[in-house]
């Protein structure tokens, strides 16, 4: 079929389908949608009407609350003083607040004071539903078991529908014995309904559910209302009516609420839809003929000529420039672009040959550099699969070049670090800056034979056409690390040995003799002799010297960390539990806050020793108050923070500068090495400890551990 006929047929089909869709859309979607919109609008208006009525009820409830939690009201129920009633319980109170009922009732149901008022009669009246002397104690308005309880709702009375609010009479503080109940009420009169109409701009009516004068249509609507379906709508030609009911204080339907609205949306929109469909049909007929002519004149005929020229090129087998359409339109541009495309094809073919030659040279150069690099270099895909590997990397782990291709990077990681490595791969994929690998980190790797080696690894991320790639460069630092640690350990052990020998020879041996001699003299003496206290003081001081020597040896110790991944909040709670059983906390309240999933690679025993020392100092600082100690655990992108806050006496600023110095102490029996040992343990974990304190307020100790050490081998 020629293009001309196809285009004309296509236009006819498209226009016909558009008309059909428009008709279908208007009849089966637009008009039903308008009815649905009308129903939604009616539902909203009905809710607005209910809210307007309930808002008056809530205002009455809050006004009742103001009077019920008033100390004067609380005293009035007790002493019934005339001054209160003469000042507050007067006719103006009812008039200004539109009250029809106000009752003070004690706990026994006796009416302390109560009146009903009629706006129409402008005088106090009696309503049989509200006795003026005694109410039954099981009356629903008197059932208050808590100071903050309230009861509100509607009630049909002999004087008409009334909204009621009930509150317990309590002191203004809200705490104290309930002395009685305050009940307030307002009649729902025509004036009240008119005010609601003005506020909501709705045509609304409120009737009693038992009213026998309701119109027949309203009675039928009332019969449709149930607890499961509390609203009902009725439409006629011009109006839409919405119905719902309002509950009384017994939670039973008491009042019927009706709203009435003009069906403006549906009537005007349906007329517009009919006019729109008529004009759409007329426009479609015109469009079919006009588009058919234009397509023949400017599209189908030029395309036929262009197609013939292309066919000639195909038959001739030679690509040559075309000149079959002289007009400056899209087809003319197509012809021009076709000719330019031929020129670019010739030029691109020449450039491609040059680029391919350069690429072969670049690939050879890059391959030579990677093969000669002394560091291991791997490239990984988005899932951590090894894509390329250089000879240095394969040799470092004991694999052949082809053995690692297609394998997961986890086979080169120590088993205890594989979960952490998975997490870091996810971070690299989502936010490279949040991963420790972007800065460089020491990790534990595993050779093919199962032996471990320590590596310094840094990972970069690149995006190429085939996806995300990670370039991993690592260097074996096992030898350097081992040499460095062995040298430091040798120096440290030499110092410890020299100091230990000196202490043992110069202090401990003579001190043991002194302690023994003093003990013998003490045993030979008695409490009545004047030298007995002196001997005891000498014995105590000798013990203090022995403790100082022990602290010195502890400070000089070269700890070998036994690190493992530890949940910090759990470690603190365990340490607090053990410390609480062993020490006199003097009524201390110790609490722990923080995310229980925060963990770090550390030695739990040594860190536990630090935690105990800090708690002992915190408890000791609270000399004249009950200790309150708060542990907090937080983390940032690169660090973990462990904070202890106490309410002790605080530390002077001059003392703060020296508290971590060995042998500096402000305690009478202190050795001055506790915090120095704590600092040394934290620094052994490559962290630091700081102090913030204010005299008379308390002290805050903060331990900071670096996140970059989380991946060290345990």
User: How do residues 134-182 score in pLDDT, each as one tens digit?
Assistant: 999 889 999 998 998 999 988 888 888 889 999 999 999 888 899 999 9
Q: Which range is least confidently modeled, 102-116, 219-233, 663-677? A: 663-677
704 vs 365, residue with greater confidence = 704
Q: Is the per-residue pLDDT at 509 higher than 70?
A: no
If you average pLDDT over residues 56-73, what whole number do you get? Answer: 92
CB atoms within 10 A of CB 569: 20
Condensed to tens digits (0 to 9), the pLDDT of residues 332-359 reads 777 777 777 767 766 776 788 888 787 7
CB atoms within 10 A of CB 352: 10
Residues counted in the chain = 714
Question: CA 382, 385, 387, 391 torsion: positive or negative?
Answer: positive
Quick one: pLDDT band at residue 501, thresholds 50, 70, 90? Answer: very low
Q: Is the per-residue pLDDT at 439 higher than 70?
A: no
Average pLDDT, the chain: 79
Protein fold of 482-555 = Helix Hairpins (1.10.287)
Quick one: pLDDT band at residue 327, thresholds 50, 70, 90? Answer: low
DSSP run (H or E) holding 354? helix 330-372
Burial 686-712 (b: 16+ CB within 10 A, else e): ebebeeebeeeebbbbbbbbebbbbbb
If you average pLDDT over residues 312-340, what whole number do you get? Answer: 68
**What pLDDT score does 169 carry?**
94
What are the tokens at 695?
């005299």
Classify domain 373-476 by CATH number. Answer: 3.30.450.20
SS (H, E, C) 252-274: CEEEEEEEEEECHHHHHHHHHHH
**What pLDDT score does 714 carry?**
33
Is residue 702 a contact partner of residue 692, using CB atoms and an 8 Å limit?
A: yes
Q: Is the per-residue pLDDT at 467 higher than 60?
A: yes
**Which residues are paired to 113 by β-bridges?**
104
Helices and strands of the chain, counted as H and E runs? 20, 22
β-pairing, 203-208 vs 231-235, is unpaired
- In sequence order, which ranges of 211-318 are alpha helices (DSSP H)? 216-224, 264-295, 301-316
In a 10 Å sphere around its CB, with 0-12 CB exposed, 13-18 middle and 19+ buried, how is residue 297 labelled? exposed
Q: Is the per-residue pLDDT at 510 higher than 80?
A: no
**What pLDDT score does 116 carry?**
93
Q: Which range is least confidently modeled, 25-29, 105-109, 379-383? A: 25-29
Q: Any residues with CB less than 8 A from the CB of 149 and at least 6 apart, and which?
A: 167, 168
What are the tokens at 486?
């062995």
CB atoms within 10 A of CB 208: 16
**What pLDDT score does 120 carry?**
79
Quick one: pLDDT band at residue 713, thresholds 50, 70, 90? Answer: very low
Q: Where are the domains of the chain?
A: 1-50+263-305, 69-193, 202-262, 315-372, 373-476, 482-555, 559-709
> 695: number of CA atoms within 13 Å, CB side?
5
- In sequence order, which ranges of 504-603 are alpha helices (DSSP H)? 509-524, 532-556, 568-582
**What pLDDT score does 359 carry?**
74
Domain 69-193: CATH superfamily is PAS domain (3.30.450.20)
3-state secondary structure of 51: helix
**Which residues are paired to 617 by β-bridges?**
none
3-state secondary structure of 456: strand
94 vs 190, residue with greater confidence = 94
Q: Cα separation of 524 and 534, whole Å?
A: 13
- DSSP letters along 73-116, please? HHHHHHH--HHHHHHHSSHHHHHHTT-SEEEEEETTSBEEEEEE
> 210: number of CA atoms within 13 Å, CB side?
10
Condensed to tens digits (0 to 9), the pLDDT of residues 262-278 reads 777 666 777 777 777 78
Q: Do domains 69-193 and 373-476 have the same CATH topology?
A: yes
**What pLDDT score does 251 carry?**
78
**Which residues are paired to 386 by β-bridges?**
380
Domain 559-709 is of which CATH architecture?
2-Layer Sandwich (3.30)
698 vs 534, residue with greater confidence = 698
Residue identified by tokens 């008379």 is: 696
For the chain, give the percent of residues with pLDDT over 90: 14
Which of 575-589, 649-663, 689-703 is the most confident on average? Answer: 689-703
DSSP run (H or E) holding 565? strand 564-567
Q: Cα separation of 432 and 463, whole Å?
A: 12
Which of 121-130, 320-329, 396-405, 503-512 is the most confident on average? Answer: 121-130
Residue among 668, 681, 691, 673 at smallest CA distance from 620? 668
Q: Cα separation of 676 and 665, whole Å?
A: 11
Quick one: angle between helices 604-621 and 568-582, nearest 10? 50
Q: Cα separation of 61 and 488, whole Å?
A: 79
Condensed to tens digits (0 to 9), the pLDDT of residues 640-653 reads 999 999 888 888 88
If you average pLDDT over residues 23-37, what whole number do you get? Answer: 74
Cα dist from 174 to 146, 380, 397, 499, whole Å:
10, 68, 75, 70
Condensed to tens digits (0 to 9), the pLDDT of residues 104-120 reads 999 999 999 999 998 87
Show contacts of 279-282: CB within 8 Å, 24+ apart.
Answer: 280/19, 280/22, 281/19
Instruction: Tell me phi and psi for residue 294, to 5 degrees.
Output: -60, -40
First-last CA distance in the chain: 79
Quick one: pLDDT band at residue 4, thresholds 50, 70, 90? Answer: low
Is residue 358 a contact partner of residue 352, using CB atoms and an 8 Å limit?
A: no
Q: Cα separation of 204 and 432, whole Å?
A: 64
Quick one: pLDDT band at residue 545, thresholds 50, 70, 90? Answer: low
Quick one: pLDDT band at residue 71, thresholds 50, 70, 90? Answer: very high
**What pLDDT score does 112 carry?**
93
Q: Cα separation of 646 and 113, whole Å?
A: 56
């Amino acid at each position: 079929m020629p293009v001309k006929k196809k285009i004309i047929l296509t236009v006819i089909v498209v226009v016909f389908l558009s008309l059909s869709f428009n008709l279908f859309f208007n009849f089966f979607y637009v008009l039903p949608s308008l009815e649905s919109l009308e129903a939604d609008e009616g539902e909203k208006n009905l809710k607005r009407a209910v809210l307007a009525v309930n808002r008056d009820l809530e205002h009455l409830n809050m006004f009742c609350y103001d009077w019920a939690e008033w100390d004067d009201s609380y005293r009035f129920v007790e002493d019934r003083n005339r001054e209160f009633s003469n000042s507050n319980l007067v006719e103006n109170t009812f008039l200004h607040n539109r009250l029809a009922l106000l009752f003070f009732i004690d706990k026994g149901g006796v009416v302390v004071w109560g009146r009903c008022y009629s706006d129409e009669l402008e005088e106090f009246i009696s309503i049989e539903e509200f006795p003026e002397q005694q109410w039954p104690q099981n009356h629903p308005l008197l059932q208050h078991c808590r100071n903050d309880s309230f009861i509100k709702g509607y009630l049909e009375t002999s004087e008409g529908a009334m909204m009621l609010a009930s509150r317990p009479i309590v002191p203004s503080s809200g705490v104290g014995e309930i002395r009685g109940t305050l009940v307030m009420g307002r009649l729902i009169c025509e004036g009240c309904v008119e005010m609601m109409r003005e506020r909501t701009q709705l045509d609304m009516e409120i009737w009693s559910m038992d009213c026998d004068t309701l119109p027949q249509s309203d009675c039928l609507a009332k019969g449709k209302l149930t607890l499961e379906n509390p609203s009902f709508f009725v439409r006629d030609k011009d109006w839409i009516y919405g119905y719902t009911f309002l509950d009384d204080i017994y939670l039973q339907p008491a009042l019927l609420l009706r709203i009435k609205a003009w069906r403006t949306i549906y009537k005007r929109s349906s007329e517009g839809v009919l006019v729109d469909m008529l004009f759409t049909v007329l426009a479609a007929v015109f469009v079919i003929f006009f588009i058919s002519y234009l397509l023949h004149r400017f599209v189908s005929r030029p395309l036929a000529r262009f197609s013939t020229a292309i066919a000639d090129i195909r038959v001739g087998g030679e690509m040559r420039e075309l000149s079959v359409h002289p007009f400056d339109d899209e087809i003319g541009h197509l012809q021009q672009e076709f000719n330019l495309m031929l020129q670019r094809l010739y030029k691109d073919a020449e450039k491609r040959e040059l680029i391919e030659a350069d690429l072969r040279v670049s690939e050879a150069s890059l391959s030579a550099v990677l093969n000669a690099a002394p560091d291991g270099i791997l490239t990984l895909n988005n899932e951590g699969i090894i894509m390329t590997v250089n000879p240095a990397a394969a040799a470092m782990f004991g694999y052949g070049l082809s053995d690692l291709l297609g394998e997961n990077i986890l086979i080169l990681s120590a088993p205890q670090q594989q979960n952490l490595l998975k997490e870091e791969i996810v971070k690299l994929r989502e936010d490279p800056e949040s991963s420790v690998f972007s800065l460089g980190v020491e990790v534990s790797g595993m050779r093919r034979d199962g032996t471990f080696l320590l590596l310094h690894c840094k990972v970069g991320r690149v995006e190429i056409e085939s996806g995300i790639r990670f370039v991993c460069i690592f260097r074996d630092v096992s030898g350097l690390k081992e040499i460095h640690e062995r040298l430091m350990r040798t120096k440290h052990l030499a110092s410890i040995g020299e100091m230990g020998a000196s202490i043992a020879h110069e202090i401990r041996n003579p001190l043991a003799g002194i302690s023994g001699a003093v003990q013998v003299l003490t045993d030979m003496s008695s409490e009545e002799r004047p030298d007995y206290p002196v001997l005891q003081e000498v014995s105590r001081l000798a013990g203090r010297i022995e403790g100082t020597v022990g602290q010195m040896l502890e400070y000089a110790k070269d700890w070998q960390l036994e690190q493992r991944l530890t949940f910090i909040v759990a470690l603190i709670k365990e340490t607090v539990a053990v410390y609480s059983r062993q020490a006199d906390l003097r009524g201390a309240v110790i609490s722990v806050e923080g995310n229980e999933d925060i963990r770090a690679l550390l030695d739990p025993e040594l860190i536990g020793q630090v935690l105990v020392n800090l708690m002992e100092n915190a408890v000791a600082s609270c000399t004249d108050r009950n200790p309150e100690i708060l542990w907090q655990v937080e983390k940032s992108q690169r660090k973990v923070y462990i904070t202890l806050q106490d309410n002790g006496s605080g530390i002077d600023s001059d003392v703060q500068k020296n508290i971590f110095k060995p042998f500096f102490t402000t305690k009478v029996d202190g050795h001055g090495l506790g915090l120095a040992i704590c600092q040394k343990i934290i620094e052994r974990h490559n962290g630091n400890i700081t102090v913030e304190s204010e005299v008379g307020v308390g002290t805050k100790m903060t331990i900071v551990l670096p996140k970059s050490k989380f991946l060290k081998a345990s």
